Structure 1
Amino acid sequence: MQNRGCLTVSSGLCVLIATVVFAVDPSEPLDEAMGGRTLKGTPVKQRLPECFPAEPQDVFYEMDQVVSSPGGTPQPLNFDADNNHMISDKERDAIRGRNTWLLWGGGNEEFWGWLQEEGFGLTDFLILLDSRNRDHRFRDDGLINQPGFVSNSDAGKRICGLFLDLPDGDKVKLVAPSSDLNESGQPVQRKQLPATDTRAFGSYSVVRNGVTQSCTACHGSGANQANRYLFDPGDKELFDRVLSQLADDGLDPTVYGYASGIFGLRLMPNPDFFGKTPAAKKAREYWQERVTNDGSFKYYTDYSIQADPKLVRPFRVSMSCGFCHVGPHPLKPPQDPEHPAWENLSSIIGNQYWSPQPAFANLLKTGKQKEEQTGRKGQRGNFLHHFLASQQPGTIDTSLVSTDWINNSNTINAVFDVPARLTRAMNNQPEKQSAANLLIPSVEDKDASVNPRHFPRVLVDGSDSCGVFTALIRVPLNIGTYFEEWRRTSNPIIGFAHRRPFSVAVCQANSVYWQTNERYRVPYEAAFFTYQNAAHMQSSTAPIKLQDAPGGAAIVAGERARATGGRAVFIQHCAICHSSKQPPDFQLTFSRDWEKTANFPQLAASPTPEPPPHYTLPMDFAFWDAFKKSAAYADYVARIRKIVGDPPPNDSDDPFIKDNFLSSEIRIPVSLVGTNSGRATATNALRGEVWDNFSSDDYKELPPVGPLRYFDPFSGATPDDYGDNASYSPLGGGRGYYRPASLISLWATAPYLHNNTLGLYNHDPSVAGRLAAYQDGIEKLLWKNLRARDSSRQATNSPSGSVRDGDLRPTPSAAAAHDPGFIYRLPEDTEIFMAPGFIRPLLAGVVGDFLTNALATYIWIVLFFVFLAAAIWGNQRHVTFLFIVLALIVAAVLATTGLASVLGKWLWLTPIALLVVALAFYFLGDPSRASLARIASRVVFLLATLATLVIGVAAHRFINGDMGPLRVGPIPRGTPVNLIMNMDPDNPNLLQGLAGLTRGIIRARDSKLTEDQKYDAFIAEAGAPMMRASKCPDFVLDRGHYFGEGLTDEEKRALIAFLKTL
């Protein structure tokens, strides 16, 4: 691990390169901290990177406990690496790194504040924080309650009308242990930063617009309560009262805000609410009227209040990585997951119980939930609710904000054995970087200018191909940092608009939060994730082994003989992808001409006794067994066995498994793995897309993987033995690959596959619960025929959690009767619903403000005066032209949309009738009918003027939300969610797909149809056209990775015993 100083020098060089090589457009926005204004224009204090010092105290010392040796007990991490009973400033960087990981939001409260106020009525974190739900947050949503709080249902203790968790006395305080001593042997204190920096990080002050700014106003020795305000409050008495009511856990509120009671979410007072502006005053008054003074608390239940874009919230929420990554510790599971202690939590395991839907779409309800809230029967569910619900617990679609229009959620990564992972990275082939890539420092190669670079692959598609530093600094952007730039690079959440790369040079020049991360926070995080204490045999990201869990040692001992056999199976069949320890110079390539090298002809041609271990593997799973019988694979197995050695004695570490990341980190074609291809075909890191600056040139030049097999549920074609009946061929340029998952702590991390869809999901973090999920998931991974055992209609006594929501195979639904695997299908009739206040922003985000204004106002004003002028000066020739144009427009619409097929063939009479009228006016041109022609023409144009006025007023009112919400539906029960969520805005078949969708909705509105008939009618119109417009037509989620099919049953059972020990 390089030290912080090296990273800082590298970072400074990067900024210099950015300044010289990349000219930043002066129109690019400044972030809130640099520009001194919120998105709504409220003035705030301008700040510097040094205004955000990382918390130095080891306040989370009870978390992340590790076992140092076999048979030991979990102990807190010891950051005294040199064992001198004090923690130097350099050693403390790892503590700062963990605190950053768990606390730091990087200014993303701007984005989350925008989302809960202007984000189309999807989510409201202040409702998610409803303290009346504290005692069942984990059960319902998988959220982790922060220790030190109690629930609050007392209306008299509300804060700004909100039910927020209350501190449980001093238990809310985050305090370091008595052993947390600094390099002088004294208890560490938060630094009072001087006016100038003395640690080679540059100045703590800067001159902007001729004014010198420094951080002493916030953190210096002269700081006081008044100048710790980050904006001028409009009602100081109210503001001070609210601040005094918020939970004080001992952290610096100017950096971290206030604890909310849910780990990973912290409350930041909203300048647009508390600020000293007329708009903020109006916001406080409106909130008082709609929320604070409402004794029936309708804010928590009334969607018209929740989805009111005029309702400015008093708090913005800052989200840290800990919100998704902190979960129950497998070695010290909580007795009650709703009330964990600090020692029961791990920040590296990844929370596989966390649910995306309540976190990011808690305002969107099912039909049943709507009926319960409103008391009205027959409510349709919200389609977008099911879009988020289709993403399984423990996963998140990382393109949720920068949507690529593929519903492709993937696991919230556990962060295991980073040192071993970096070692593998240095042995894999480096990749060529662009000039933009090289602006970002490198952990692996030290010098930022090194090209090509080595790197591990954190993202499952291997697209983050510039290094650990790049991965760590990109994540804050992806969860909202520098939202001012987000709004220019894409149309957040909705998409369907022009996209452009998120520029590293712009971030370095215009974002204080990026600068903070680049100078300080990312080096701190790197120090934490790579921390190793040799004296105490500890590693911050050490594997979590079953033998160290309560009752686990007896389980491992009882299966030791079988696990030894499983070790041999693993080496023979799995290590080529799932080991970071490989023969020197190990390389894999993939080809459809793999047989040309199957006999390993290099053996004969090589001048040395042993050629390098460079192997060419097949692109398709169909040839995997043949490859394993080849001389090339036999050569690999012989070499890996030399590295592996013999099984270790009982109760001792296996040298082969120790410091083994258990993944080769080499990209594998999805055509070989055979799993769902949604994530592999993601496009955000391709050339010219949002994450262009964060992926290597070599990634962008990856060849196409060729045809990908999948199941088309609408074609009627007979599936093959693996459930596939169709194929599609995604383009290259980065698409089509997965990196192998690490098998570290496999026993604790079920369900499986990159989307957590394979195996039992029991929502049970106990050791017994994790092992039950492991056993079910690993059996289904190795025995293909077991995957549907709990989902068939004939299944009885299926364990709770073995059938997922949206899997309709066990139900009488005809829609899922032939599904070969889990396709998330709508479990109810739904509609796409948009609250009135968001219709205009929705339209503007897609077509732009100019066209939105034109459609809402200007085009109708122009047409009004054109028709009015025509009524005064026009003649029958103008009328003839008008009706011919109308006839052509109507005919074109009917021809391209096919609406006449569902609304009635009689619609074709409309363009015919318009042509007849046009002909009639044409023949009125006879001089003998001149008077009649003038009168008729004026009447027509007066009617057109009146119609334009009526239509224009209606369009204006609709776009501005004055005619109620936008409803698109019904989308019937049984429809695959991804039929709609995977449609490609750039596909030439998009209009045909949307036309088919429209026809399907119209036919599904027939109230006489049964449920299955409604689905059939919808799919008959929408199925094939939407599949042709799909970016990824692969809907089966739990498919693929059939490598276990080549093993005997006994080999599989032995392998299960071995994998359980990792």
Structure 2
Amino acid sequence: MRAICIRRAANLSHQRSIRKCGNLARHQMNMLSPYKLILPALTLAVVQTSSAPKNAQEHGNAVLFAMSSGAATPPGEARSEKTSAYAAKTDSTAPLDEAMGGRTLLGTPVTKRTPECFPAEPRDFFREMDKVASGPNGELQPLNFDADGDGKISDKERDAIRGRNTWLLWGGGNEVFWGWLQEKGYGLNDFLILMDSRRRDTRFRDAGIINQPGFVSNSDPNKRILGLYLDLPDGEKVNLVQPADDVDEQGQPVTRPQPPPGHPTELFKPGDRELYEKTRSALARDGLDTTIYGYPSGIFGLRLFLNPDFFGDTPAAAKARQYWDARVTKPTQSNYYTDVAVHADPKLVRPFRVSMSCGFCHVAPHPLNPPADPNHPDWANLSSIIGDQYWRPQPAFANLLTRNNFLHHFLASQQPGTVDTSLVSTDWINNPNTINAIFDLPARLVRAAANSPEHQSAANLLVPSIEERDASVNPRHFPRVLVDGSDSCGTFAALVRVPLNIGTYFEEWRRATNPIIGFARRRPFRIAVCQANSVYWKTNERYRVPYEAAFFTLKNKAGQNSTGAMKLKDAVTEVVGADGRKIGLGQAELAKDSPQKRAQGREAFIQHCAICHSSKQPEGFQLDFSRDMAGGWEKEPRPPDSAGPHYTLPMDFAQWDAFKRSDAYADYRSRITALAGPAPADGAEDPFIRDNFLSSEIRIPVSLVGSNPGRATATNALRGEVWDNFSSDDYKNLPAVGPLRYFDPFSGATSDSYGNNASYSPGGGGRGYYRPASLISLWATAPYLHNNALGLYNHDPSVEGRLKAYQDGIEKLLWKDKRAAHSVPGRTDRPEGSILGGDLRAYGSAAAARDTGYIYRLPVDTSIYMAPPFIRQLMVGVLGGFLTSALETWIWVLLFLVLLFLAFRGRQRHATFVFVLLAVFVGALLVFTGFASVLGWYLWLVPIVLVAIALGFFFWRERPWAWNPVKVARIVFALIAAGTLVIGILAHQFINGRLGPLNIGPIPRGTPVNLIMNMDPDSPRLLNGLVGLARGVVKVRKDHLTGDKAYDAFIGQAGAPMMRASKCPDFVLDRGHYFGEALTNEEKNALIAFLKTL
């Protein structure tokens, strides 16, 4: 792991050019000022503090990302020779995206577009959102985008408004992917069904989804649109309201950008103009450009686009309209919502494609001003930066799956408020992580300037850099956004990658990986290809990402910070205080603790937590990690004065206490104590906490943290994998962390005091690290750990609800014995009020009796089910088209022809050879699979009989009174040929979905979901694992087992071989981070009081 060192915070600049849209070169763009898009001058104002590193003070109190003559090289222009050479290596086989190529995935013609066809919305529609406590007595006020305080919002300052609008509204063309998923996505998910307006009033309760204000539910069949129950506009309330004072520098109202004359107003030519216009007029509108943002759906973050493959002017689109009309529109019953034969029909082309913005996952109830009814929030009750910790993956991304489908529980095992960012580009580790709150990016960038830069590849350098002066600087500084620290090319790269991860440029996704299913060969998602072939990438790179950066780094002279902490003291919810007067609930909660207690907690934080959870560190601060220390960890000497505060930490938690007794740690404590200074007076702002990101952003070995390693061992950013182009060379060269301890639920081995009884080594090349979480607004973001698995989850966004979750979660974080103990019958760390599932310890399940932590186990019997129409698609994705066609047709045709030839020309010796070959094959199959041990010894009769027949043919001699052996052999060959033909027909029918579904089961209640979802497609033991899985299923089905007997039988066959084939055999979700064990109870309680103030 590279050391942490001080680097100057470089001034950054960027320049963009204006391009013409489509074929409109004849129009003068400079005559159309509303349509101009000028790259923002992005100022990251960083408040000077005495604790900032000296070099950072001198060079980077303000990090500028500005347009200046001859400064940073614009995207797409010449950079370093090495980078230019790489960029020149374009891939001629790479597809164009829909906007550049002018055709959908199904071939429907659409209008070609360029980046200038997608101007960002500049109006301040969401002023009531994201309020900050900047008024008198902490009153919540809207963000003021007048950064320089001159009383006017310049066009450059307005880029921050464009950035927020981009974050909340822009899908970047990902309706192509989500449209594919609705129709071809294996029957897993359909956003149009998620939008069922009859469920609007319970969307937050059921799925944590945020309803867009201004809509009402619709249960009237007569108000359906093409048979769909969509939310209805609540009169004029549906319109996004532009504030009266939202004016430009000349005092004129800001208007929507208008394209130049001649710009196409339709994305495609409709085939049925009347139906097209009728549908458009029926859809709700909220004031945005529908050609860029589509139509509002009533769910925030999901917007509707008319589907060219449905409304287009092609014979296929005409058939799609007729088919939809017959299956969905005309039936009086809404079978589309309930009948799997309808909504899981890949031939059913939807009339709408759904676009997803970042707001779908990141917008949530505002912690300081939560809604009275979370199902019906107002704009003022919402925050775009907090991250929706109530958002639930299963109803959002697998809403078509029932509880008896194993894949339902794959998504259900991912805790609310988390998302598996490798869901599309699966790496076959179930590794969800919390939907990040975006806090104090300016302070985070200051820490990035002080942290060690990392070397970048030529591909990495194709992406601009916010942190450096120009994109060619190598190595680069950067913050670590993803929890495993893999996105290591800079903030710009992180922001431009996010749209890809939610579906942008899906045409290339289909080449880079086998979406959703995986198992096929992966290839890097190449930046050079994106820059050459994707209009949406170019739009993001030139305009949208700089706008978002302007929003996230906004700090104005009034002291507002768009990503500032949401402190408990500023919560607007009121209660009656002890004196009978109303007081803010947050202030009342803080008053329960004395100032002395909070000061004691501050001291405990500085002494025990700051080494990982503070962005303010002694000048020259650097960490390395090692497994050994000469003389023992308690003997590590303090660093020499000439070296600065460079410390080596142990790789393993077992040595942590010894390290804390060393002179080295004593030296750190003295330095950080001097830097932090004394505790402030009660009620005064703490200079040490101000502008402190509360994370060092240094990658920490998971072997030291001790938490579940699923996310840390993700493989998509390794060399040659999907995100290769977005991870640094230094990341790819990180050393392996060594063996990781974990709990094996099947081994029967005794667990140690931390619940572990086994170990495995995940390998290196980037795997095995976590960056520390920020502690900003910790009171509002429970449950804890990277996967939200530790502590109470009560689905309650009120201040009271958040505080209850905070108290439960922080106590479990600091007291190991308050987590579930398997030795106590019925004990669980799911307290009363928690609604999470899959933890069977409290239900008397024998399967979970020995669990040392929260393992998500199947709560019901399930099966892996795939609807018939998707079987062929599944096989093509995994095996490829050639092998699928071979299994479907050609292998059977070839065998039939060979056997048919033998039926006419075969000899006695041929029959002997064929039966010997069959006997060897069946015998080897039985030995390898072990099916005889499950189904019975009589299976061995099959190869024995085959050998007997072979011997019979071998020793058969022609006699005048006996059958002619040649004729018998030919008859046998004819019979085998007929059987082969029947098998071939059945295989063809099954692969093409005509013999029913693929149904692998039962997989019994109690089985850990990750036993299956973490299997390694590249493991040499994969086949053994899959055979064990099959044996387990056959055993349960053959013996008609249920309950615990079914579980025991299944695990007896599948448990050990599947564990050996696992990519991450650690299934305990709430383990690790036991650093609080070294504190006294008094220190822990004081720390809880202090952390509540952050």
Instruction: Give, in whole Å, the separation in 2 of the partners of 1:425 and 1:718.
Output: 43
Alignment of 1:118-137 (within 5 A): 118-137=184-203
- Stretches of structure 1 lacking an aligned partner (at least 5 in a row): 193-218, 367-380
Alignment of 1:485-524 (within 5 A): 485-524=508-547
Worse-matched range after superposition: 405-414 or 863-872: 863-872
Deviation at 1:594, TM superposition (A): 3.3
1:358 to 395, 400, 403: 395
Instruction: Give, in whole Å, the separation in 2 of the partners of 1:16 and 1:960.
Output: 52
Distance 1:8 1:170, change over 3 A: farther
Alignment of 1:544-943 (within 5 A): 544-550=566-572, 551-559=585-593, 560-595=595-630, 606=640, 609=641, 611-788=643-820, 793-794=825-826, 799-802=831-834, 804-924=836-956, 932-943=964-975
Q: Secondary structure at the match of 2:842?
A: coil
List per-residue Cα deviations over 1:528-560 (Å, max 9, x = no partner). 1001102x1101000000010132123223423
Give the AA of the match of 1:568.
E
Instruction: Give, in whole Å, the separation in 1 of the partners of 2:982 and 2:680.
Output: 84
Which residue does 2:433 correspond to in 1?
410
Q: Secondary structure at the match of 2:507?
A: helix
Which residue does 1:58 correspond to in 2?
124
Deviation at 1:599, TM superposition (A): 7.2
Q: Is the 8 A contact 2:822 2:852 kept in 1?
A: no
How many equivalent pairs are there? 1015
1:220 to 246, 249, 260: 260
Deviation at 1:222, TM superposition (A): 5.0
Instruction: Give, in whole Å, the separation in 2 of the partners of 1:698 and 1:418.
Output: 23
Instruction: Give, in whole Å, the separation in 2 of the partners of 1:589 and 1:930.
Output: 86
Instruction: Give, in whole Å, the separation in 2 of the partners of 1:567 and 1:16.
Output: 48
Alignment of 1:184-203 (within 5 A): 184-192=250-258
Instruction: Give, in whole Å, the separation in 1 of the partners of 2:668 and 2:881.
Output: 60
2:171 to 92, 105, 108: 105
Q: Secondary structure at the match of 1:760?
A: coil
Give the AA of the match of 1:740.
P
Give the AA of the match of 2:203.
R
Deviation at 1:564, TM superposition (A): 1.1
Instruction: Give, in whole Å, the separation in 2 of the partners of 1:558 and 1:357.
Output: 39
Give the AA of the match of 2:570.
D
Q: Secondary structure at the match of 1:664?
A: coil
Instruction: Give, in whole Å, the separation in 1 of the partners of 2:848 and 2:419.
Output: 25
Give the AA of the match of 1:37.
R
Distance 1:233 1:796, change over 3 A: closer
Instruction: Give, in whole Å, the separation in 2 of the partners of 1:173 and 1:941.
Output: 76
Q: Secondary structure at the match of 1:594?
A: coil
Kindly indicate whether residue 552 of structure 2 is the aligned counterpart of residue 540 of structure 1.
no
Q: Is the 8 A contact 2:512 2:525 kept in 1?
A: yes
Give the AA of the match of 1:21.
Y
Q: Is the 8 A contact 1:264 1:321 kept in 2?
A: yes
2:494 to 471, 477, 490: 471
Give the AA of the match of 2:422.
S
Q: Is the 8 A contact 2:76 2:531 kept in 1?
A: no
Instruction: Give, in whole Å, the separation in 2 of the partners of 1:154 and 1:875.
Output: 75
Q: Is the 8 A contact 1:273 1:312 kept in 2?
A: yes
Q: Is the 8 A contact 1:793 1:811 kept in 2?
A: no
Instruction: Give, in whole Å, the separation in 2 of the partners of 1:337 and 1:1015.
Output: 40
Give the AA of the match of 1:474.
R
Deviation at 1:125, TM superposition (A): 0.3
Which residue does 1:282 correspond to in 2?
319
Instruction: Give, in whole Å, the separation in 1 of the partners of 2:1039 and 2:633.
Output: 62
Which residue does 2:482 correspond to in 1?
459
Distance 1:188 1:656, change over 3 A: same
Instruction: Give, in whole Å, the separation in 1 of the partners of 2:1042 and 2:284.
Output: 54
Distance 1:770 1:253, change over 3 A: same
RMSD of aligned residue pairs (Cα, Å): 1.8
Which residue does 2:353 correspond to in 1?
316
Distance 1:495 1:1008, change over 3 A: closer
Which residue does 1:11 correspond to in 2?
75
Instruction: Give, in whole Å, the separation in 2 of the partners of 1:573 and 1:869.
Output: 81
Deviation at 1:176, TM superposition (A): 1.8
Instruction: Give, in whole Å, the separation in 2 of the partners of 1:940 and 1:1013.
Output: 44
Distance 1:768 1:792, change over 3 A: farther
List per-residue Cα deviations over 1:353-393 (Å, max 9, x = no partner). 00000010000011xxxxxxxxxxxxxx0000000000000
Which residue does 1:211 correspond to in 2?
none
Deviation at 1:904, TM superposition (A): 0.7
Kindly indicate whether residue 978 of structure 2 is the aligned counterpart of residue 946 of structure 1.
yes
List per-residue Cα deviations over 1:266-289 (Å, max 9, x = no partner). 001110000011111100000000
Give the AA of the match of 1:499.
R
Worse-matched range after superposition: 66-75 or 935-944: 66-75
Distance 1:786 1:595, change over 3 A: farther
Instruction: Give, in whole Å, the separation in 2 of the partners of 1:917 and 1:627.
Output: 73
Deviation at 1:71, TM superposition (A): 2.9
Q: Is the 8 A contact 1:790 1:803 kept in 2?
A: no
Give the AA of the match of 1:532.
K
Instruction: Give, in whole Å, the separation in 2 of the partners of 1:672 and 1:146.
Output: 43
Give the AA of the match of 1:317.
V
Deviation at 1:603, TM superposition (A): 5.7
Q: Is the 8 A contact 1:830 1:969 kept in 2?
A: yes
Which residue does 1:448 correspond to in 2?
471
Alignment of 1:22-61 (within 5 A): 22=87, 23-61=89-127
Q: Secondary structure at the match of 1:743?
A: coil
Deviation at 1:494, TM superposition (A): 0.5
Distance 1:533 1:600, change over 3 A: farther
Q: Is the 8 A contact 1:807 1:825 kept in 2?
A: yes
Deviation at 1:3, TM superposition (A): 3.2
Kindly indicate whether residue 153 of structure 2 is the aligned counterpart of residue 91 of structure 1.
no
Q: Secondary structure at the match of 2:843?
A: coil
Q: Secondary structure at the match of 1:13?
A: coil
Kindly indicate whether residue 299 of structure 2 is the aligned counterpart of residue 262 of structure 1.
yes
Which residue does 2:10 correspond to in 1?
none
Instruction: Give, in whole Å, the separation in 2 of the partners of 1:923 and 1:1009.
Output: 46
Instruction: Give, in whole Å, the separation in 2 of the partners of 1:596 and 1:518.
Output: 52
- Stretches of structure 2 lacking an aligned partner (at least 5 in a row): 1-43, 45-63, 573-584
Deviation at 1:892, TM superposition (A): 1.4
Q: Secondary structure at the match of 1:296?
A: coil
Q: Secondary structure at the match of 1:877?
A: helix
2:1065 to 1033, 1039, 1042: 1033
List per-residue Cα deviations over 1:137-187 (Å, max 9, x = no partner). 000000000000000000001011100001111111112211211121111
Kindly indicate whether residue 313 of structure 2 is the aligned counterpart of residue 247 of structure 1.
no
Kindly indicate whether residue 86 of structure 2 is the aligned counterpart of residue 21 of structure 1.
yes
Q: Is the 8 A contact 1:444 1:467 kept in 2?
A: yes
Instruction: Give, in whole Å, the separation in 2 of the partners of 1:14 and 1:1030.
Output: 45
Instruction: Give, in whole Å, the separation in 2 of the partners of 1:662 and 1:502.
Output: 33
Which residue does 2:370 correspond to in 1?
333
Which residue does 1:183 correspond to in 2?
249
Instruction: Give, in whole Å, the separation in 1 of the partners of 2:934 and 2:336.
Output: 42
